[in-house]
Structure 1
């Protein structure tokens, strides 16, 4: 088990791991000016959205597809958006919804085929993480999709409960209870490894 045995230790591990990944992304995003065009937004937000999708679907190629679809949808709706901040929210919601669709399709496919374990993480992405961070990312992959979404959006996306509720289409109370259950489950998973 990594960290201490309390739920608070697991939460700190999740926060450190996903916060570390968020810091890598925001450092490059903050260096650029606020997005003004779709092209600027694509350059500044693409990798952040890909990392978000990877944390949700656990497959880099699929994550790229999800993000590409999100940007395609944004392009179609560009004229109806208020500002760049609304565009980022649109992208985040589209990535979450696209990831959900992927996971539903995977579940359906598994019902008709024997399950297989895909080697989703690249050696480079894991090499950048410490052993503790690797353990947290591996444990996140074992959580149910909704729990994983809430933790990733909270600690990687650095979103408030209200923003998570909006991105996932659930109530703030559901976000709070899901996060609590997810941290408990994560603690159990990490203890068992």
Structure 2
């Protein structure tokens, strides 16, 4: 059951790593950010393997330009989500519509609580743009930051957040949640 559809009120130090021209080493950011990045991609509907592949590819690209990255967390999420969506586009055969419900597999190397499994399952049922906005929101990005990264208006971000929250609440109500 999804008990809370908004992120926790307190930001953990490891939830978001922001640096200016790399005061943190690539290795330190990799250790802290890799599991968070994989989960971020899973919030977009990726399987654990797809998420790990996209996260690894994002870090591989980051390594090449590490000294020029101002905001590693944002940069990695942007690249990883693009890698995932490009891979999904290549997978989709012409004439076939993607499934509205992505088959959801639990990762073998990331332990998820029952609540996290429920949240990922609920996110997988949202339309793609709402899922994308919620993924950024759950990773502590503000409406203006999400709008900038996704290249949409702040009003569009707010509208997608509102619709996604309503859909998640409706899903929770259907499942007997409070």
More helix by share: 1
Aligned residues: 168
- In the alignment, which residue of structure 2 is the partner of 1:90? 75
Q: Does 1:167 align with 2:149?
A: yes
Q: Which runs of 5+ in 2 are unaligned?
A: none
Tell which deviates more after alignment, 63-72 or 113-122.
Answer: 113-122
**Aligned-pair Cα RMSD in Å:** 3.3
Partner Cα distance (2:153, 2:137) in 1: 15
Q: CA contact under 8 A between 1:57 and 1:102: conserved in structure 2?
A: no
Which residue of the partner structure matches residue 130 of structure 2? Answer: 147
Aligned equivalents of 2:13, 2:25: Cα separation in 1: 23
Does residue 14 (structure 1) correspond to residue 5 (structure 2)? The answer is: yes
Q: TM-score, normalised by structure 1?
A: 0.70
CA contact (8 A) 1:56 1:148 kept: yes
- Give the Cα separation in 2 of the matches to 1:14 and 1:110: 35
| TM-score of the superposed pair, with normalisation by structure 2 | 0.75
Shift of 1:67: 0.6
Name the residue aligned to 2:48: 60
C-alpha separation between the residues in 2 aligned to 1:143 and 1:114? 13
- Rounded to whole Å, the distance in 2 between the matches of 1:78 and 1:114 is 35
